[in-house]
């Protein structure tokens, strides 16, 4: 009730008050519109409890809460009780949840990987011990809580927590050559995995992957820093068509101290991106992919006798998107997700790999699998059953019957369940509702109470002159596409407005989604531009996700072609509207979106007057193997797929205003992409604008003022290129 009352207040203020305008300072410097979150929230395994990490000027606190009462049970850790530690950034429990690993002084390596100092904290004895004096990576408890494994300088170590004895499991680790127990750059970036080792349930074996990077070409980029001379950062980066790391699987027996390499034989494939032990401590399942990523296998390995067999296999005419939905039940039957029927759904297989039944079905997608409750024999998942731009939370029987919707409100719903699936915390938002945290009954779907609702932010926004983001579908020659439109707050259909289009467009992505303003703060910036009199539109074209297999995979082997066609067609359709000035249409994007805006201002120069490309790919020949070959295969196999949609080859078509921006420290989309684009434009004698951010990575974030500076530059460019809106 309070929620609807607040919306009425919001709309009343929008209609009647003299309201503020958004500013770049508000958005990027002053943190005016920050969402209040449940920081480092984790559900606990031992009972209906969860933990929340809090930090203030006095230190770090880890608090334990009761799901049912929402009362704080106790403060588990407070740094004033930890000698020599002023704060910690991460925490991880052992299985019994009576010990913690605390991460301190963490330093990023790449996007997901970190190294740092780690401590063991015993919640019973209150004793604190350092795991290692060195910066280590990916420490993890053994299931029995008696040991901790970790990686240091590309080798795996195991520390006995009682005797303090440390055993080095591997010996050949070497930077830029051999990695044990961690993934290489491309696995981390594209398969979203850093730790490449796993304990079995008896704590007596560790399965791990060994990466041999010796033949992978090195990439070098200068780091300018603040010293007299810059220094090179050199790392292994396999570009499309080049050598990947050679990977080998080993199983280490802690009792014998020996590592054995199972003979995969004909089941060996190019990539091994997942390891997972079943409930049987001797049974390991690895997920493998061929280089084209259109054949995915689950391979079962018996660690006792090293027998290898194929548990499950799927092939696709295009490619597979890797996921983490493989879940073994107590009888070692398993749940798996697949888009084999045209939409991503859940399936139940026997422990021998025979299909027992398809659990979910319909013209919608399962977007998250939360787990299985053996007591009620129900699975819990998130899906697009309420439309592709929404997410709802559901439960369903393992037999595919008795489906129940558990989330209440339309929009984007995420769930974190208690250990016995009795409760869940529903993170909800939509385009009109800031992020809220709701305690829900997981059996009935009833709301128990609101934990956080961000009402102060909603109330603050009533002071600002904001229009509502409007969702619709746009009918084009290429089909019906999801779209949102942000109009100026004082929109007058009799006037003519310049239009700025935003998109990402990458395979499986989604920008048109019913959620609160995006975490990158682009939405606030878009609303600021709308206040100045610009129309803002975003269209998810073919190739984007959550509308079924065929809609996404239609771009296979020709990235950029159909995506660009859809942005051009969308711009033409929008240009037909009486209130759109078709002579003043611009487009911008970041990364894949920058690639698309670069194509739009060259191949689509007759439609777009202006484009901004931030950190763009300009040729897929420069990007990594795993991502690029998934969609295009190799340059040798598909040269036209690489070149016929590269903006490098269409520089002479540039007619409008083009701003190119890149961070020189981008280890993902290398600044080489922009350098080659600059070279092509100079050869074509085309004028353009370029700005580089020294040592900034792909997100261009380092430093307090960096994002403010970037969006200030982009705002000025838009004003100068699209002109002042009609007053």
The catalytic site residues sit at 591, 666, 698
* Token pair 């409890």 in the structure block, residue: 49
User: Cα(221)–Cα(205) distance, rounded to whole angstroms?
Assistant: 40
With beta carbons less than 8 A apart as the criterion, state whether 333 and 352 touch: no
Residue 469's SS3 state is coil
Radius of gyration of the chain (CA): 26
CB 204 within 8 A of CB 223: no
Give ∠ CA 613-616-622 in degrees, rounded to 5: 155
What backbone phi and psi angles, to 5 degrees, belong to 475?
-85, 120
- Tokens at residue 492, please? 């007058």
How wide is the angle at C-alpha 288 spanned by C-alphas 282 and 292, nearest 5°?
175
Among 493, 34, 88, 553, residue whose Cα is nearest residue 294: 553
The β-bridge partners of 115 are 107
Question: If DSSP codes are grouped into helix, strand and coil, which group holds residue 648?
Answer: helix
- Residue 107 and residue 549: Cα distance in Å, rounded? 39
Dump strand ranges (E) for 137-199: 137-141, 147-152, 155-160, 166-168, 178-180, 197-199
Sign of the alpha-carbon dihedral angle for 219, 621, 211, 275: positive
Tokens of 606: 């007759």
Checking phi first, is residue 259 left (phi over 0); if not, alpha (psi -120 to 50) or beta? beta
End-to-end CA distance of the chain: 39
Q: Pick from 369, 284, 366, 291: which is nearest to 324 by CA? A: 369
Say how far apart CA 629 and CA 534 lie, in whole Å. 38
**Closest listed residue to residue 428, CA positions, set 514, 312, 493:** 514
Q: What angle do CA 4, 6, 10 make, to 5 degrees?
A: 115
- The rounded distance, in Å, linking the Cα atoms of 338 and 327 is 13
| Residue 624 DSSP class | B
Cβ atoms 299, 310 nearer than 8 A: yes
* Distance separating alpha carbons of residues 582 and 370, to the nearest angstrom: 46
3-state secondary structure 112-142: CCEEEEEEEEECCCCCEEECCCCCEEEEEEC
């Amino acid at each position: 009730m309070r929620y609807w009352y607040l919306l009425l207040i919001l709309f009343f203020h929008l209609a009647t008050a003299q309201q503020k305008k958004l500013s770049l300072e508000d958005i990027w410097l002053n943190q005016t519109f920050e969402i209040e979150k449940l920081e480092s929230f984790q559900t606990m395994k031992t009972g209906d409890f969860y933990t929340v990490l809090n930090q203030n000027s006095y230190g770090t606190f880890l608090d334990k809460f009761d799901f049912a009462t929402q009362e704080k049970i106790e403060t588990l850790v407070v740094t004033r009780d930890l000698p020599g530690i002023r704060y910690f950034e991460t925490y991880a429990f052992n299985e019994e949840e009576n010990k913690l690993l605390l991460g301190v002084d963490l330093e990023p390596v790449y996007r997901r990987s970190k190294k740092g100092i780690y401590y063991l904290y015993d919640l019973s004895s209150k004793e604190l011990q350092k795991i290692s004096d060195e910066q280590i990576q990916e420490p993890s408890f053994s299931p029995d809580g008696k040991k901790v494994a970790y990686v240091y300088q590309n080798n795996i170590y195991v520390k006995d927590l009682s005797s303090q004895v440390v055993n080095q499991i591997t010996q050949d680790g070497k930077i830029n050559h051999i990695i044990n127990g961690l993934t290489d750059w491309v696995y981390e970036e594209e398969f979203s995995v850093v730790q490449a080792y796993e304990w079995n349930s008896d704590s007596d074996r560790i399965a791990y992957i060994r990466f041999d990077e010796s033949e992978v070409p090195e990439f070098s980029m200068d780091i300018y820093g603040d010293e007299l001379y810059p220094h090179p950062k050199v790392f292994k980066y396999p570009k499309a068509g080049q050598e990947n790391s050679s990977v080998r699987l080993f199983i280490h027996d802690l009792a014998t101290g020996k590592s054995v390499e199972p003979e995969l034989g004909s089941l060996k494939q190019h990539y091994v991106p997942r390891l997972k032990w079943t409930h049987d401590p001797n049974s390991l399942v690895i997920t493998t992919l061929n280089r084209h990523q259109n054949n995915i296998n689950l391979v079962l390995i018996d660690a006792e006798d090293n027998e290898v067999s194929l548990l499950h296999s799927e092939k696709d005419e295009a490619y597979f998107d890797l996921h983490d939905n493989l879940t073994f039940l107590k009888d070692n039957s398993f749940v798996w997700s697949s888009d084999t029927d045209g939409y991503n759904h859940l399936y139940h297989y026997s422990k021998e790999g025979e299909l027992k039944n398809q659990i979910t079905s319909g013209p919608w997608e399962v977007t998250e699998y939360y787990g299985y409750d053996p007591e009620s024999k129900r699975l819990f998942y998130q899906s697009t059953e309420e439309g592709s731009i929404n997410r709802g939370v559901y439960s369903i029987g393992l037999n595919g019957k008795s489906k129940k919707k558990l989330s209440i409100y339309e929009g984007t719903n995420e769930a974190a369940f208690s250990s016995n699936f009795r409760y869940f915390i529903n993170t909800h938002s939509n385009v009109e509702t800031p992020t809220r945290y709701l305690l829900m009954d997981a059996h009935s779907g009833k709301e128990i109470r609101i934990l956080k609702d961000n009402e102060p932010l909603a109330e603050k926004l009533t002071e600002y002159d904001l229009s509502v983001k409007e969702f619709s579908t746009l009918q084009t020659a290429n089909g019906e596409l999801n779209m949102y439109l942000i109009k100026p707050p004082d929109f007058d259909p009799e006037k003519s407005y310049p239009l700025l289009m935003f998109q990402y467009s990458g395979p499986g992505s989604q920008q048109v989604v019913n959620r609160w303003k995006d975490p990158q703060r682009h939405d606030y910036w878009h609303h600021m531009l709308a206040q100045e009199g610009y129309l803002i539109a975003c269209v998810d074209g073919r190739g984007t996700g959550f509308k079924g297999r065929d809609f996404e995979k239609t771009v296979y082997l020709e990235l950029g072609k159909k995506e660009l066609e859809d942005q051009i067609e969308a711009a033409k359709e929008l240009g037909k509207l009486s209130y759109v000035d078709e002579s003043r249409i611009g487009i911008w994007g970041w990364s894949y979106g920058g690639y698309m805006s670069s194509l739009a201002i060259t191949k689509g120069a007759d439609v777009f007057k202006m484009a901004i490309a931030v950190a763009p790919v300009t040729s897929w020949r420069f990007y990594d193997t795993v991502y690029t070959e998934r969609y295009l295969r190799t340059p040798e196999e598909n040269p036209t797929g690489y070149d016929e949609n590269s903006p490098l080859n269409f520089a002479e078509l540039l007619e409008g205003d083009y701003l190119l921006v890149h961070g020189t420290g981008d280890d993902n989309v290398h600044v080489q992409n922009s350098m080659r684009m600059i070279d092509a434009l100079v050869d074509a004698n085309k004028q353009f604008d370029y700005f580089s951010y020294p040592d900034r990575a792909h997100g261009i974030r380092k430093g307090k003022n960096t994002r403010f500076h970037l969006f200030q530059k982009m705002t000025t460019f838009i004003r100068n290129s699209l002109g002042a809106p009609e007053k």
